[in-house]
Amino acid sequence: MVYAMADEKKIRHVLDLARRCVYRGQALQAFAQLESIRQEVDDLPRTSVSAEYELIYAGALGATGDPVAEYAFDDAFKRISELSEPDPALEMRAHGDFGKCLAEQRSFGRAREECRLAERIAESLDRPEDSAHFQMCVIGIELQERQDPQLRAFQNLRRAAVVDGYIDMDQRDAWFYYIDEFQRDARQMVAARKGNEASVDYFRGVLSQIRRRRSEVVT
């Protein structure tokens, strides 16, 4: 039993590595990681490990633009539904990953639906950061779908968050702050803004304020 637990820990470590590769767009590296544990996973049918393996594999296919990816996601959802014990967190991630894949294929309506499903599961699990993440995904999808001029501002917010390591809750609140400000006076020139486009530096300032306020509430 000790060996089995250690073995599963090793498998999950490799799955984590593969998932990070998928999120970074490194599909070939993800496939290599998955192949290294394929035989061990085959010995664990109808488990969350097996379902997660299929989900990451589907995401890697999606990252390559392979049209087979959608069928692979169908298989992952099927495996998740057949688990002896429900795994809502894995189901949440599956909807989110599938939504990302659909958005990259510009199937925006379906992508939005999948991300909203993921958001609802996150709310039911009381996971506010995951909920904020999927809210941001939906916002980005809707901006792309409408070809909204505000998409560039949204992308600048994402860049600003990467620079200073802000969580999705901070980003969501920064976006709502920006939209409220923009709607309050669309003609006003805000500091560090080019025309109606909020710059990376503008959002770095807003994010800093939000983080400071959040820390004050916690303390």
What pLDDT sits at residue 183? 73
Q: Would you say residue 51 lies in a domain?
A: yes
Which residues are within 8 A (CB) of 84 and not within 5 positions of it... i.e. 6 or more apart? Answer: 46
Residues 55 and 110 in one domain: no
Q: Would you say residue 187 lies in a domain?
A: yes
Q: Would you say residue 170 lies in a domain?
A: yes
Residues 171 and 215 in one domain: yes
What pLDDT sits at residue 2? 39
What pLDDT sits at residue 105? 92
What pLDDT sits at residue 102? 96
**Do the beta carbons of residue 92 and residue 118 sit within 8 Å?**
yes
Which residues are within 8 A (CB) of 143 and not within 5 positions of it... i.e. 6 or more apart? Answer: 150, 151, 154
Provide the residue range defining the domain that includes 24: 1-86
Q: Would you say residue 97 lies in a domain?
A: no
> pLDDT digits over 94-144, tens only?
999 999 999 999 999 999 999 999 999 999 999 999 999 999 999 999 999
Q: Structurally, how many domains does the chain consist of?
A: 3
Q: Would you say residue 94 lies in a domain?
A: no
Last residue of some domain: 116, 132, 148? 148
Residues 82 and 125 in one domain: no
Last residue of some domain: 32, 53, 86? 86
Provide the 3-class DSSP secondary structure of residue 198: strand
Class of residue 80 by CB neighbours under 10 A (exposed 0-12, middle 13-18, buried 19+): buried
What pLDDT sits at residue 140? 97
Residues 123 and 52 in one domain: no
- 10-residue mean pLDDT series, the chain (219 residues): 62 94 93 94 90 96 93 96 94 97 95 98 98 98 95 96 93 94 63 61 94 75
Residues 68 and 130 in one domain: no
Residues 57 and 40 in one domain: yes
Residues 24 and 14 in one domain: yes
Residues 70 and 16 in one domain: yes
Q: Would you say residue 17 lies in a domain?
A: yes
Residues 58 and 17 in one domain: yes
Residues 139 and 175 in one domain: no
